Structure 1
Amino acid sequence: MFLSDPAIGVAMLVLFIFALMLGFPIAFTLMALGVGFGYYAMGDHIFQLLVQRTFSVMANDVLISIPLFLFMGYVIERANILDRLFKSIQLAAGWLPGALAVATLVTCALFATATGIVGAVVTLMGLLAFPAMLRAGYDPRIAAGVVCAGGCLGILIPPSVMLILYAATAGVSVVKLYAAAFLPGLMLTGLYILYVIIRVVLNPSLAPKLPPAERNVPLTTVIWSLLTSFMPLGILISAVLGAIIFGLATPSEAAAIGALGALILGVAYRSFSFEKLKESVFLSARASAMVCWLFVGSAVFSAVFAYLGGQAVIENAIKGMDLSPTMFLILTQVIIFVLGWPLEWTEIIIIFLPIFLPLLDHFGVDPLFFGILVALNLQTSFLSPPVAMAPFYLKGVAPKHITIDQIFSGVMPFLWIVVLSMVLFYIFPEIGMWLPGVLYGS
Structure 2
Amino acid sequence: MEWWLVLIIIFAGAMALLAVGMPVAFAFIIVNMVGVLVLQGGGRAFHTLTLSMFSSVSTFTLLPVPLFILMGEVLWHSRVAFRAIEVLDKLLGRLPGRLSILTVLSGTVFSSLSGSTMANTAVLGTMLLPDMERRGYRRPMSIGPILASGGLAMMVPPSALAVILAAIAKLSIGRILIAALVPGLIMAVLYMAYILVRCRLQPELTPAYEVRRASLGERLDGVVRHLLPLGLIVFLVTGVIVLGVATPTEAAALGCLGSFVLAAVYRSLTWEVVRKAVGGTVHISVMMMAILVGALGFSQLLAYSGSSRGLLEAVVALPVAPLLLIVAMQGIVLVLGTFMEQIAIMMITMPIYIPIVTSLGYDPIWFGVLMLINLQMALTTPPFGLLLFVLKGVAPADTTMRQIYLAGLPFLACDLVALVVVLLYPDSIGWLVDWVYAK
Which TM class, normalised by the smaller chain length? over 0.9
Which residue pairs with 1:245 in the alignment? 242
Alignment of 1:330-349 (within 5 A): 330-349=327-346
Alignment of 1:7-156 (within 5 A): 7-42=5-40, 43-156=42-155
Greater CA drift, 306-315 or 56-65 = 306-315
Q: Distance in 1 between matches of 2:234 and 2:135?
A: 31
Q: Distance in 1 between matches of 2:375 and 2:197?
A: 25
Greater CA drift, 145-154 or 82-91 = 82-91
Question: Structure 2 vs 1, CA of residues 302 and 212 (structure 1 numbering), >3 Å: closer, same or farther?
Answer: closer
1:383 corresponds to 2:395: no
Q: Distance in 1 between matches of 2:174 and 2:296?
A: 23
Greater CA drift, 306-315 or 116-125 = 306-315
- One-letter amino acid of the structure 2 residue matched with residue 46 of structure 1: A
1:433 corresponds to 2:420: no
- One-letter amino acid of the structure 2 residue matched with residue 99 of structure 1: R
- Aligned residue pairs total 438
- One-letter amino acid of the structure 2 residue matched with residue 107 of structure 1: S
CA shift for structure 1 position 10:
2.5
- One-letter amino acid of the structure 2 residue matched with residue 252 of structure 1: T
CA shift for structure 1 position 413:
0.7
CA shift for structure 1 position 101:
0.9
- 1:81 is paired with a residue whose SS is coil
Q: Distance in 2 between matches of 1:284 and 1:346?
A: 18
Greater CA drift, 394-403 or 242-251 = 242-251
CA shift for structure 1 position 122:
0.6
Q: Distance in 2 between matches of 1:280 and 1:239?
A: 19
1:262 corresponds to 2:255: no
Greater CA drift, 150-159 or 40-49 = 40-49
- One-letter amino acid of the structure 2 residue matched with residue 154 of structure 1: A
Question: Structure 2 vs 1, CA of residues 16 and 156 (structure 1 numbering), >3 Å: closer, same or farther?
Answer: same
Q: Distance in 2 between matches of 1:191 and 1:177?
A: 22
Q: Distance in 2 between matches of 1:45 and 1:300?
A: 15
CA offsets 1:52-93 (integer angstroms, 9 cap, x no match): 223322322221110000111111111212332111101101
TM-score w.r.t. the length of structure 2 is 0.95
CA shift for structure 1 position 387:
0.6
> Is contact 1:339-1:348 (8 Å) kept?
yes
Alignment of 1:177-256 (within 5 A): 177-213=176-212, 216-256=213-253
CA offsets 1:410-433 (integer angstroms, 9 cap, x no match): 111111111111111223322211
Percentage of identical aligned residues: 30
Question: Structure 2 vs 1, CA of residues 417 and 154 (structure 1 numbering), >3 Å: closer, same or farther?
Answer: same
> Is contact 2:164-2:292 (8 Å) kept?
no
- One-letter amino acid of the structure 1 residue matched with residue 181 of structure 2: F
CA shift for structure 1 position 4:
4.1
**Unpaired runs of at least 5, structure 2:** none
| Aligned CA-pair RMSD | 1.8
CA shift for structure 1 position 245:
2.2
> Is contact 1:73-1:114 (8 Å) kept?
yes
- One-letter amino acid of the structure 2 residue matched with residue 388 of structure 1: G
Q: Distance in 1 between matches of 2:424 and 2:25?
A: 37
Q: Distance in 2 between matches of 1:201 and 1:261?
A: 41
Q: Distance in 2 between matches of 1:182 and 1:107?
A: 16
CA shift for structure 1 position 127:
0.8
Q: Distance in 2 between matches of 1:239 and 1:441?
A: 20
Pick one of 281, 290, 296 that aligns with 1:299: 296
- One-letter amino acid of the structure 1 residue matched with residue 12 of structure 2: V
TM-score w.r.t. the length of structure 1 is 0.94
Q: Distance in 2 between matches of 1:125 and 1:23?
A: 29
Q: Distance in 1 between matches of 2:347 and 2:438?
A: 28
